[in-house]
Chains A and B, each alone.
Chain A
Amino acid sequence: MAVDTLTVDGAVGVDHADPGNYLTTGRGVLSWLFTLDHKRIGLMYLVAITASFFLGGIFALLVRTELLTPGQTIMTADAYNQMFTLHGAVMIFLFIIPGIPAALGNFVLPLMLGAKDVALPRLNLASFWFWMFGAVFALVSIIVGAVDTGWTFYTPYSTTTSTAVISMTTGVFILGFSSIFTGLNFIVTIHKMRPEGMTWFKMPLFLWGLYSTAIIQVLATPVLAITLLLLIAERALGVGIFDPSLGGDPVLYQHFFWFYSHPAVYIMILPAMGIISELVSVFSGKHIFGYRFIAWSSIAIALLSFLVWGHHMFTSGQSSITNMIFSALTFSVAIPSAVKVFNWLATMYKGSIRLAAPMLYVLSFLFLFAIGGLTGLFLGALSTDVHLHDTYFVVAHFHYVMFGGTVIAFLGGIHYWWPKMFGRMYSERWAQVSALLIFVGFNLTFFTQFVMGSHGMPRRYYNYLEQFTTLHQASTVGSYVLGLGFLIMAGYLGHSLFRGRHAPSNPWGSATLEWETTSPPPTHNFDREFSADDPYNLDSLRFDPAIEGWVRKEPRSILLAEGGSH
Chain B
Amino acid sequence: MTSTALAHLLTVVSALLPEDKGATFWMPPKVSTVAHGVDWLFNFILAISVFFFLLIVVLMVYFIFRYRHREGHAAERSPTHNLGLEITWTVIPLILVIVIFVFGFKGFLDMSTPPANAYEILVEGQKWNWSFTYPNGYVDSNLHVPVNRPIRLVMSSQDVIHSLYVPAFRIKMDVVPGRYSKAWFEATEPGEYDLFCAEYCGTSHSDMIAHVVVHPVGEFERWLEKASDFLETMTPVDAGRKLFQVRGCQQCHSVDGSAKTGPSLLGVFGHEQALADGSTVVADENYIRESILEPQARVVAGYDPVMPTYQGRLNDREIMAIIEYLKSLGGTSSGE
Please determine whether chains A and B interact with each other in the same assembly. yes
Give the complex CA separation of A156 and B200 in angstroms.
Answer: 11
Contact A456 B78 (CB under 8 A): no
Give the complex CA separation of A385 and B173 in angstroms.
Answer: 11
Give the complex CA separation of A77 and B48 in angstroms.
Answer: 39
Known A286-B75, A377-B100, A383-B107: A390·B56 in contact at CB below 8 Å: no
User: Is A200's beta carbon under 8 Å from chain B?
Assistant: no
Contact B89 A383 (CB under 8 A): no
Contact A458 B202 (CB under 8 A): no
User: Is A462's beta carbon under 8 Å from chain B?
Assistant: yes
Contact B86 A384 (CB under 8 A): no
Q: For B171, list chain A residues within 8 Å (CB).
A: 386-387
Give the complex CA separation of A350 and B80 in angstroms.
Answer: 12
Partner of A367, one of B41, B60, B163, B196: B60
Contact A384 B38 (CB under 8 A): yes
Give the interface size bracket for A toward B. Answer: 35 or more
Tally of contact residues, B, Cβ under 8 A: 84
User: Is A454's beta carbon under 8 Å from chain B?
Assistant: yes
Give the complex CA separation of A286 and B79 in angstroms.
Answer: 10
Known A345-B63, A381-B101, A456-B194: A285·B74 in contact at CB below 8 Å: yes
Known A334-B93, A363-B64, A383-B37: A78·B203 in contact at CB below 8 Å: yes
Known A160-B160, A389-B198, A462-B206: A349·B108 in contact at CB below 8 Å: no
Closest-CB distance, B262 to chain A (whole angstroms)? 16
Closest-CB distance, B247 to chain A (whole angstroms)? 22
Contact B81 A289 (CB under 8 A): yes
Contact A382 B160 (CB under 8 A): no
Contact B67 A349 (CB under 8 A): yes
Contact B60 A156 (CB under 8 A): no
Partner of B174, one of A315, A350, A383, A536: A315
Closest chain B residue to A369, Cβ basis: B56
Give the complex CA separation of A411 and B220 in angstroms.
Answer: 59
Within 8 A of A (CB), among B87-145: 89-90, 93-94, 97-98, 100-101, 103-112
Closest chain B residue to A248, Cβ basis: B178
Known A250-B161, A323-B108: A381·B103 in contact at CB below 8 Å: yes
Give the complex CA separation of A247 and B97 in angstroms.
Answer: 40
Give the complex CA separation of A349 and B66 in angstroms.
Answer: 9
Among listed B5-13, B26-34, B146-154, interface-contacting one: B26-34
Within 8 A of A (CB), among B146-193: 159-161, 163, 165, 167-168, 170-174, 176-179, 181
Greatest chain A CB density within 10 A among B73, B81, B82, B207 is at B81
User: Is B227's beta carbon under 8 Å from chain A?
Assistant: no
Contact A157 B201 (CB under 8 A): yes
Within 8 A of B (CB), among A313-361: 314-317, 320, 323-324, 327-328, 331-332, 334-335, 338-339, 341-343, 345-346, 348-355
Some 22 contacts from A to B, beta carbons below 8 A apart, are A77-B206, A149-B200, A154-B200, A156-B159, A157-B161, A157-B200, A160-B159, A244-B178, A290-B82, A352-B67, A353-B64, A371-B53, A374-B53, A381-B100, A382-B104, A383-B105, A383-B108, A383-B110, A387-B170, A455-B28, A461-B206, A465-B209
What 4 A-B pairs are tightest by C-beta distance, nearest first? Answer: A456-B167, A383-B107, A381-B104, A244-B178
Given contact pairs A342-B86, A367-B56, A454-B26, enumerate 9 new A-B contacts (beta carbons under 8 Å).
A293-B86, A327-B105, A343-B86, A370-B52, A380-B101, A390-B165, A454-B27, A463-B206, A463-B207
